[in-house]
Amino acid sequence: MTGDSLATEAHGRVLVATLNRPAKSNALNQDLITALDEVADRVLADDAASWGALVLTGAGDRAFSAGADIGELDGIGGDAARRQMHRGQQVFGRLEALPVVVIAAINGVALGGGLELAMAADIRIAAPSARLGQPEITLANLPGWGGTQRLPRLVGRGVATELILAGDLVDAARARELGLVNQVCADPLGAAIELGGRIAARSPVAVRGAKAAIAAGLDRGMAAGLAAEADAVAACCETSTQRQAIRAFLGRHS
């Protein structure tokens, strides 16, 4: 069970997980991190046909998530901080590695750990009013749940370094220009559910293989990515879905 801090709702084969601490701007405490881990368990444990997409969003219209719950950092020592960072990194990594598409519907601010969670998604859709950033430096700290690694991969080293070291926020339009978000629209949740539904209708073997190939290339270099790509195509070619799609295509164009 995810508990009160995270609400889940099914929209067909799209599972929507809503960070549910609106009074705290959906700040990520350890209970919420655990709830996100349980969502990953649910996607992996349920029948493979149950879910084709996971959408992450925040309750209310002010915040996707304002970041880590600062109260849990008050007076924390180095060893405890390291454990807390490793825990968040592990959970966000599990979400990123899910075999289904993960979409962040950014309905308000996505700051610090909130942006790090959004960056663990495959696709980000933001409301026009959204603001995004890694302001940890203003608290004499730095991103610890993957921000120093995922942000440069999305926007490039120079821009990421500026955002992390200055702690500045960007609006949704600028985030779109930088490649930090894919779309800006008035209804990010609706758009995320619609896109998730379209992707969920695709071959799960192809979706899983494409995600794995993209990740392999980014994490281990092009040679590893190309090898993963070839393996994924081979797996697709063993499925009846792919064979039927090819025959249907040829029949339409013969």
| Catalytic site residue from 38, 72, 96, 136 | 136
Q: Phi/psi zone of residue 67: left (φ > 0), alpha (ψ -120 to 50 degrees), beta?
A: left
DSSP three-state, residue 163: helix
Tell me how crowded residue 34 is: count the other CB atoms within 10 A of its CB.
Answer: 15
In sequence order, the 6+-apart residues with CB closer than 8 A to the CB of 233 are 209
Q: Which residue has the tokens 């209708």?
A: 201
Residue 136 annotated among the catalytic residues of the structure:
yes
Tokens of 206: 């192809």
CB atoms within 10 A of CB 168: 13
Beta bridge partners of 9: 16
Task: Give the 3-state secondary structure of residue 12.
Answer: coil
Q: Which of 9, 38, 72, 116 is catalytic?
A: 116
Instruction: Tell me if 242 sits within 8 A of 206, measured CB to CB.
Output: yes
* AA letter at 117: L
Cβ-Cβ contacts under 8 Å for 118 (sequence gap 6 or more): 56, 64, 65, 104, 106, 110, 124, 132
Q: How far is CA 79 from the centre of its chain?
A: 27
Alpha-carbon span 228 to 230, nearest angstrom: 6
User: 10 Å Cβ neighbour count for 101?
Assistant: 25
Active site residues: 116, 136
